[in-house]
Structure 1
Amino acid sequence: MGPRLSVRAVFYNQDHILLCKHYDERGFWYITPGGGVEYGETLVDAFHRELMEEVGLQAHMGDVLCIRDLISNRYPTPYLPEHFHQLEIFVEGKSPIFVGKPSNLDPAQIGYEWVPLDELDNILFFPTELVAVFKKRNFSTIYQGHKL
């Protein structure tokens, strides 16, 4: 089986970033909104569906900010399935409009919030290896590869 394709939305509002908030035995943890592209869906379709499911948000999809590989065999963790490979495409989110409640939260997701950028070092944020990129909004390297 090949890599799973995922689209993830990056929204900034002044010095904050919009993140989905999760809770499990690790405590609170955060990721950008988004998820897997389903068969027959375009990236834009998946972008819109995932935002409605996780945030209750409509927005415009902007440019690709960066791409990264997530390969569980190279980054062993009990939170990812064995032999899991996901290609994540992070895209700019523009003109967000909150239109209702999220329609289909991910497992362990308890909501979403605007997190101050200077707090990214102090929370459990995934991908942890890209905290500096997100804080500085420095997406000069499009392909981030797979980092430990």
Structure 2
Amino acid sequence: MGPRISVRAVFYNQDHILLCKHQDERGFWYITPGGGVEHGETLEDTFHRELMEEIGLKATMGDVLCIRDLISDRSPTPYLPEHFHQIEIFVEGKTPNFINTASKLDPAQIGYEWVPLERLDNILFFPAELVEMFKNREFSTIYQGHKL
């Protein structure tokens, strides 16, 4: 099986970032909204579908901010499936317009919130290794590779 491709939207509002909020035995944890590309979908189709499903949001897809590989065999964790490989494409989200309630939350998702950038160091945020890039809005290197 090949890598799964995921599109993740990054929205900033002043000094806040929009994150999906999840909860499990670790407590609360956060990720940028988005998800996997389905067969026959473009990246932009996925961007729009995932935002409607997870947040009830319409927006404009901007440029690619960065890309990273997530390979569970290189950094084993009980929260990722064995042999899981995902290529995550983080894109800028523009002109968010909340029009609906979320229609298809992920199993552990309990909502979303605008999180102050200064809090990213103090919450369980994924990808943790890219916190500084997200906090500083500094995406000078597009390909991030796989980081432990």
TM-score calculated relative to the size of structure 2: 1.00
Segments of structure 2 that go 5 or more residues without pairing to the other structure are none
Corresponding residue for 1:35? 35
What is the CA deviation profile of residues 41-84 of structure 1, one whole-angstrom value per residue up to 9, with x for unaligned ones? 00000000000000000000000000000000011111100000
Report whether the alignment pairs 1:11 with 2:11.
yes
The residue type equivalent to 1:115 in the other structure is V
Corresponding residue for 1:105? 105
Corresponding residue for 2:118? 118
Indicate the percent of aligned positions where both proteins have the same amino acid: 83
SS class of match (2:104) = coil
What is the CA deviation profile of residues 93-124 of structure 1, one whole-angstrom value per residue up to 9, with x for unaligned ones? 00000001000000100000000000000000
The residue type equivalent to 1:32 in the other structure is T
TM-score calculated relative to the size of structure 1: 1.00
Segments of structure 1 that go 5 or more residues without pairing to the other structure are none
Off by >2 Å, runs of 4+ in structure 1:
none
Tell me how many residue pairs correspond in the alignment. Answer: 148
Corresponding residue for 2:52? 52
